[in-house]
Amino acid sequence: MLAAVPYWNFGAARLDGHAGRIDTYSPWVYGIAADGTVVPQRPGADTAALRSRPPGTRYVPTVANALDGTFSYRPVSRVLHDPAARARHVRSLVALAEAPHVAGIDLDYEDLRAGDRAAFTALVRQVAAALHARDRTLSVDLFAKDTDAGYAPRNVAQDYRRLGRAVDQVRLMAYDYHWETSGPGPISPTPWVRRVLRYATATIGADKLVLGMSLSGYDWVGHRGTDRSVATLRRAATDRHVPVRWDATAQAPWYSYRDARGRRHEVWFENDRSVDAKLALARSAHLAGVFFWLNEGSADGAVWRAAAGGGD
């Protein structure tokens, strides 16, 4: 099992008690500077990432086209289309990977454009060759889709088949089916995950695929959602004395309530039961493993117990 944690959640994720269940730790901590070099997203975040590493885990830091937690297209576009910036970027990734505590690099380059498809594939191939020559691994984080075109230009930019051939591992971000501005609904409904896995296994192969689950939830008012930890959302339901319901189709928990201003909120999140449903899909597809994206708070004990019973 893999744990992916952004720098702002290192302390709250509380992974030490579950180190025996985690084999790979990927702190979401590095970004791309304007000149294409790899830098900590926030000063000191790289040092904090090492301190937060669970004992005995492979250390595979994530590099994203983001700084201070905010994604930006401009630096990754320059890396993709400016040969000098690309060369600096690859050298910088190699320098990071050559540190003795680093087992590999994970790339999370998001919100690319359809016209970036060939350049992105070429970059990943170049990075993979450079890392493999130094006995380091490369993984890429890809948006979940069930056709090549997907649902947006950023999906077109990610060529599942060719990227899968180049890298050691593909991490499918099979969450945010509903997100902050989509309006309320399940974050990772199992019928959608099943379709995504059917397409991904056919194009990439199960042996390189890792299924991602986000262990958090959203509290929506109308079409505006706020990301919250599962613990916060559970506590809110208890404090307001509202029942947590179960959507049998999506296989996900949810509830609704009205706040002091009379506004209706709708809340969807993940729990041990919904996680177990997706673990069952991962097992049936014979995937290489699963990863938990812990962007808010920590997973509760029931989720970890479910993972221990079903995830690699």
Per residue in 130-160, pLDDT tens? 999 999 999 999 999 999 999 889 999 999 9
Q: What is the chain's alpha carbon radius of gyration, rounded to the nearest angstrom?
A: 19
And the tokens for 265? 């909120």
Per residue in 34-52, pLDDT tens? 999 999 999 999 999 999 9
Would you state the pLDDT for residue 312? 44
- 36: alpha, beta or left? (left if phi > 0; alpha if psi -120 to 50): left
Phi and psi (nearest 5°) for 81? Answer: -120, -5
Q: Which amino acid is at 188?
A: S
How many Å apart are CA 257 and CA 124, to the nearest integer? Answer: 46
Would you state the pLDDT for residue 116? 98
| Cβ neighbour number for residue 21 with a 10 Å cutoff | 16
pLDDT tens per residue, the chain (312 residues)? Answer: 999 999 999 988 888 777 788 999 999 999 999 999 999 999 999 999 999 999 999 999 999 999 999 999 999 999 999 999 999 999 999 999 999 999 999 999 999 999 999 999 999 999 999 999 999 999 999 999 999 999 889 999 999 999 999 999 999 999 999 999 999 999 999 999 999 999 999 999 999 999 999 999 999 999 999 999 998 999 999 999 999 999 999 999 999 999 999 999 999 999 999 999 999 999 999 999 999 999 988 877 778 777 776 544
Residue with tokens 């700084």: 67
Percent helix, strand, coil in the chain (nearest 5)?
40, 25, 35
- Number of alpha carbons in the 13 Å side-chain half-sphere of residue 97: 26
Domains contained in the chain, CATH given: 2-215+269-310 (3.20.20.80)
How many Å apart are CA 80 and CA 244, to the nearest integer? Answer: 46
